[in-house]
Amino acid sequence: MSSKIINPEALGAPRGYSNGLLVDGGGKLLFIAGQIAWDNNQKIVSDDFVEQFDKALANVIAVVRAAGGEAENIARLVIYVTDKIEYRARTKEVGDRYRKHMGKHFPAMVLVQVAGLLDDRAKIEIEGIAAIPA
């Protein structure tokens, strides 16, 4: 299964995401539930924003791998944060952790600030869609 990044010139050059990702069929779609920074005992791993981002993204990728895919099969991510100012302040560190897991693969993404998440200590939650090759 192949994919093609879609970034129309009229939208300007995106940084750290793609405006669209066109996936050529022949596989399966995996809808990934929102993942927070829980360990296998469903406990938040840290109160640090970057550590929570790292673990939440690792959890998303764990779901993708359990379905037979890899990080590069992720077509869309929705990132929910409780504080977008903290996200902006730590963008470089978040980017480092992102590249650790995703390399230079930038699916379509959105960031949304929310009032709260399932676990009161959670600062970030990530959900996604992956296109798993047949």
Q: What is the DSSP letter of 48?
A: -
Of 46, 4, 39, nearest in space to 22 by CA:
4
Question: What pLDDT score was predicted for residue 20?
Answer: 82
CA 31 centroid distance within chain: 12
Neighbouring-strand partners of residue 31:
129
Question: Across all residues in the chain, what is the average pLDDT?
Answer: 94
List b or e across 94-125, with b for residues whose CB sees 16 or more CB atoms inside 10 angstroms.
beebbeeebeebbbbbeeeeeeebeeeebbbb
Taking the CA atoms of residue 3, residue 70, residue 96 and residue 117 in that order, the dihedral angle to the nearest 10 degrees is: 100
Question: What pLDDT score was predicted for residue 1?
Answer: 66
37-60 pLDDT per residue, tens: 999 999 999 999 999 999 999 999
> pTM for this structure?
0.89
10-residue mean pLDDT series, the chain (134 residues): 84 88 82 94 97 97 94 96 98 98 96 96 97 89
